[in-house]
Every structure is written in structure tokens, then in C-alpha cells.
Structure 1
């Protein structure tokens, strides 16, 4: 095979540095080094017993066949009821498409909405895969630098100022990876109004919405039926490897998404879907809420600890399990600093390089999706590394 004939779109897909650092860490661990992982955004909690038991029953009962491309009707109804009980929203189950993780949901949304040459606005910093989903359909992610003053998010003014003839929509995340910050309800409403005025689409990634700590959670779905929302069982529900998520779309978009899902995925894993039903039982919700409280406890430990080490944390995260920390007082190159911290302190952190050019050299992402004991040990190692012990 002539590798020079690979599709040119691959030229626009950058390596994912968090995974590169994870590989480096694995090599050190094979050599006997103790490594504390605060890089990959994966809960250290796994699916609780009710979910495991539901999966086991599904396999024992032979519930292993394909489902409808839009998902098990019972799971669509359970998710709909979840929106009613948590957010006070009446979302028709038919608008909910169960997907093979949030990644599949984003892929389906971009496949349906992004034309070749179309621009999609998103903040810089953003989760890197989001811009690659746009690029996969020959669109262009337009990264708009956003700093602490905007909580690393887009604002109504930024969307209005940057909209041009090629712009077709916005792709937001609230709470965000890598920053853990949310867009305020009123600001999000203003953004949606501008996009609506321009005839564009608004996609909001809400995979961390269940992990909101300081305010009552809300969903962008409260802003109107034209808002497209992505969600997942990976973060709040602790089911990362199960590859199960969902997409909520306007009623007149359901058939298009169903058609794409039939062709690209057939359906999400049937076992994962049957297991996912157990996530909405009172027993499971109590477990998830206790784990959410633990994530908040970890946040409240790590933010002041990072400041004590000399990192700037200009915006306290209100959700997810990340802190976006300014390392410019400690080093002039975040990428080089993370490599040194890995090799010399045995702590994995992620440079801003993954998340957009405006913060690439100045910021690192800290994941506190690990035990309190690991966080405390990591801080002790970093105190020694920076000569603050």
C-alpha cells in the first residue's frame, strides 16, 4: 500500500498528547517506577454493582441481539425520565438517540450538520477530539481564544464578533474538558439566541453535566428544541469502557440521525444498553451522588494545593474533574515541564498543547479523577520537585 495515498484529512489530525504521556508513563512503570496518573480523564470509580448485575442478567437471558439504531425504547424512556426528575424538562423519548459513547454522538451530529468548508466556532481551549470530528467531515473548527475572564468559554459577544459567511454553528462543552468550567445559563441562552438569529446550529457537550458542584445543574435543552445535546454514561455514571452515550436532537432531525446511525454503527452495544437501564435506579443514583461528593472533596483539596505549589488557578472549576492551571511562574514551556514532572517526580499531568494554541505553553490540565491518597502523594512529590518540601 502506498502510504502517500492516505486521505489528506489525516494531515489535520494531531496526536493526542495525553495518550503519548500515558505511553511514556507505562514504560516507566514497566521499569519499576511508581507513577501517579493525573492525566487521563477517567473516573477511578467503575460501574457499581447494580449495573454489573444488570449486564450479567442480560447476558444470561440472551439479550445480545442488535437493538434499534436509536436504542432500546426502555433506555430512551429512562433517559427522558432522568431529564424530568433532575432538570424538570419534558424531553420526548423519541428525540433521544442512544449511541456508542459520546464520541459516536458527536460524530453523528457533525455528519448531519457539517458541510465541506463550514466553520464551527468553539473556544480555545477545548477538548481536541471535538475539532477533529468537525475536520472529519471537511469542516473547519475555528478556535476562539478564551481566557480566565470568560471562564475559558465562549460568550455571546465572542460568537457574534466571530460569526462570518462560512460559519454554520457552535460546539460548546459545559462543564468543559480541560477547564472544568461551565457556561452560565443566561450567557448560554444569549449564545443560543445569536446562533438562532444567524440560522446556525448549537451543539452542547454535557457529558460532565452530572458532575456540577456549586450551582443547581441545568441542561441546554431548557433553551429550546433546536439545541442539540451530547451526553454519556462514562463520567457521572462511571462507565467509560462500556461505550454508551446519547444524543438529543430536534424532532425533525431524528430520522436523519437514525439513518446515519443505521449505516455507521447499526446500534450501540446491547449489553451496555441493558446495563445502562440500571443506572437510573434509586440504588445506583445514591452511589453516583456519593461519588460526586467525593469528586468535589478532591477538587476542594487539589485547587489550593496547586496554588501553594506555585501554579495559578485563575478560575476555580465548578464541574467535571479537571483543574486548568497556569504554570508560567514555574516554567516557560508546559510541555517540557510535564515531561520533567513525569520523569523526575513520577506524576502524569497534561500540557495545554492538546487543547488549543492560545494556552499551549502556559497551562497544564490536572485530573483529580484518582484517589485522595494519590492526590496527596502527588502533591508531596511535586513539593519536592519544586523545592518546596
Structure 2
């Protein structure tokens, strides 16, 4: 059976090229090739031992029934305590809504705030699903070209210049996928003040916030209680497939979001929620910090190695586990970054991602490399890329 009348909003949602490249890599592996995966952003670490034990105990104890749509009270309290311990912020547990991953949190935020024809400002480049969440509710993501001079992020000046009649808010990510760069605290404060002054909303994706490597950590929540912050157990807590995240909301948004969550998701995974309580045990937190240090070690190896090969890394990534590198100096005449990563995959067995997914501004000349793999793999990838480029 075929459907001839699909919803027109699908026309505004592009394929996810990252996943297409992953399928190409999988096909090569089925042929017996050894592929080093530096494409998909997924920690090579798994959930902490105490988390796995907590999940097994929850199942053994039969704790698998529906929870509240907003999440287990104990987990909301634990997240609140986490903000107090790490950032010195008092976030009421009642403002925290546990979600089926950060994707569900962003979906709920857009369902509550995006109207047909309204605009949401975001940087180009940015995570592709963010603009598609807006499109899913018939809004328009207004992508603003953001280069290395702006750390690939929006600035307050850019927000003021591009705010138009139909603009309703901004969707930011700090640290960002694909660039690994954060918005400076002072600049973020200006942006939020500008948006507030225009009666708009600020959504800040902080799913990589725990993986920050420079300076003192901070959350956008320190800038006011009218900000919507998204976070996740996937990255810092190494629980990608568990599909668990959370959002911190202004009090006035909690009831509307709860109503949407009840209807769209019923509740997040009960097992994942019970397991996630163990994320905040001292032994788990110590392990996460060790892993964060390992990610920094990998970054500090990979960035200069890429520069040595001829890539340009105009902004040192200060968070997440990505390097956003300019490959323009390595391209053959007429080639672009997409062709470059496909040739590198086929010839060198190194899987990377072009800028194609992240917006048109950097699509032709930038690639994203994930260092969420072992140091041994990174070293081998650099060796293979050196051979591929004729530099070793």
C-alpha cells in the first residue's frame, strides 16, 4: 500500500545524512573491512556499573509500571540536587520534567511554543534535528550563518539583527553539536536579555554541558527562571540507548508540558528512570569525571594531529566530543566535504561526517569528527588519513 497524500511538513524535513553514512560503513564492515567510526556521536563508554545494577534490581523487583508523565519524584529530586552540587543553583524539583531522551524534551518544547509560520532563530551550523523539531509543528527555523569568528554560535548582535516580525524565540546549544563550542557566559546573558526584552522564549540545549573542558561550568539556568533548558543522560552519563533526558521549565510551563507528555509519551521508561538514580551515587560521579578527563585527553591528541595533516581547526572545541574541521585545503578541484568523507570511508576505512547535515553555511568545506572512540582508534585513524592524503 502506498500513501499519495503525505503531510506537507515532510517536505521541510531532510534525510539524516549521518545515518546514511553509517549505513555505508556497515555495508563495508559486512564485506570484512575494518572501519574506525568517528561519525555518530555516541560515547564508547557504557552505563556505569551501579546504573546497570540498579536497572537489573528494578526489573527483579517488578518496578516496570508506568510512572508519572513528569518522571519519578525521586529522580526529579536527584536532578535538582545535581544542579545544586555542580552549579550552586536551587532548581525546584517541580520545575524538572523527565523525558524520553532530550529529543522528546525538544519535541515537547516545540509542541508547546511553536505555532504555524513562527520563526525560531538558531545558528548555522547546528544539530539538524533541532530545525526539524520546529518544522514538525509548522514553524520555520531561521538559520543564521555563524562562522569561527562567532565560535559557530549566535551572538547577541546577530539575534538583534535577525529578529523579525514572525520571530518567537531562539534555540541554542552549548556546547554544540557539531562544533563542540560553547557560548561564552557573558554573550549568552546578552542574548537571553534581548530575547526576554522582545517577549520571546529561549531554549538552551545543554546535553553536552557535563562534557566541558575549559573554565568553570555554568548553566543557562543561572540567567533566570524563564529559560527552558534541555539535558540528557545520554552523553555525560553514557546512557544513549536508554532514551532518558529531562527539561527544566519556568513554573508556568510545567502544567502545559505535562499535559502534552501525558498524551504523546505517557511516561519515560520506568526501568531507565530507576537505573538513572544510580548516576548520582559518588562512585558513578567519580567514574564520569574520569571519563570526562579521557575525552579531554583524546581532544588534546586529535586536534593537533588533524592540523598536522592539513586540516584547519579555527576554534578549539571546549566541550562535547567533536572536532569541526575545515578540509578545504585538502579538497581536489571540484570536490566538496561530502565527497571527501565518502572517499575517506571507502579508501581509508575512517567514517566521518560532512557539514551537509548541519546547515548550508559550512556544508561544502567542513567535516565533523567524533573522538568518542578509543585513543588507539584515533591514532590509527590519523595514520590512515595520513596515507589517504599522501602525507605518510
Give the TM-score, by structure 1 length: 1.00
Match 1:379 to one of 361, 364, 382:
382
Counting only pairs closer than 5 Å after superposition, residues 240-255 of structure 1 correspond to structure 2 as 240-255=240-255
Corresponding residue of 1:13: 13
Counting only pairs closer than 5 Å after superposition, residues 61-210 of structure 1 correspond to structure 2 as 61-210=61-210
Deviations 1:256-302 (A, max 9, x none): 00000000000000000000000000010000000000000000000
Structure 2: distance between partners of 1:81 and 1:180: 26
Structure 2: distance between partners of 1:336 and 1:305: 22
Structure 2: distance between partners of 1:347 and 1:3: 38
Shift of 1:2: 4.2
Q: Secondary structure at the match of 1:3?
A: coil
Corresponding residue of 1:46: 46
Counting only pairs closer than 5 Å after superposition, residues 241-280 of structure 1 correspond to structure 2 as 241-280=241-280
Deviations 1:104-154 (A, max 9, x none): 000000000001000000000000000000000000000000000000000
Stretch of structure 1 that moved more, 127-136 or 9-18: 9-18
Deviations 1:24-70 (A, max 9, x none): 00000000001000000000000011000000110011100000000
Corresponding residue of 1:339: 342
Structure 2: distance between partners of 1:120 and 1:253: 18
Corresponding residue of 1:303: 303
Structure 2: distance between partners of 1:188 and 1:115: 25
Structure 1: distance between partners of 2:93 and 2:178: 31
Structure 2: distance between partners of 1:322 and 1:29: 23
- Give the unaligned 5+ runs of structure 1: none
Q: Secondary structure at the match of 2:29?
A: helix
Tell me how many residue pairs correspond in the alignment: 389
Structure 2: distance between partners of 1:250 and 1:27: 46
Shift of 1:222: 0.4
Q: Secondary structure at the match of 2:266?
A: coil
Structure 1: distance between partners of 2:103 and 2:179: 19
Q: Secondary structure at the match of 1:168?
A: strand
Structure 2: distance between partners of 1:65 and 1:78: 20
Shift of 1:4: 2.1
Q: Secondary structure at the match of 1:358?
A: coil
Q: Secondary structure at the match of 1:323?
A: strand
Structure 2: distance between partners of 1:95 and 1:318: 29
Structure 1's consecutive aligned runs of 4 or more residues displaced over 3 angstroms after TM superposition are none
Structure 2: distance between partners of 1:114 and 1:223: 23
Q: Root-mean-square deviation (CA), in Å?
A: 0.5
Q: Secondary structure at the match of 2:256?
A: helix
- Give the unaligned 5+ runs of structure 2: none
Q: Secondary structure at the match of 1:181?
A: coil
Give the TM-score, by structure 2 length: 0.99
- Tell me if 1:361 matches 2:364: yes
Counting only pairs closer than 5 Å after superposition, residues 322-337 of structure 1 correspond to structure 2 as 322-331=322-331, 332-337=335-340
Shift of 1:316: 0.4
Q: Secondary structure at the match of 1:175?
A: coil
Shift of 1:215: 1.1
Structure 1: distance between partners of 2:17 and 2:306: 22
Structure 1: distance between partners of 2:185 and 2:26: 41
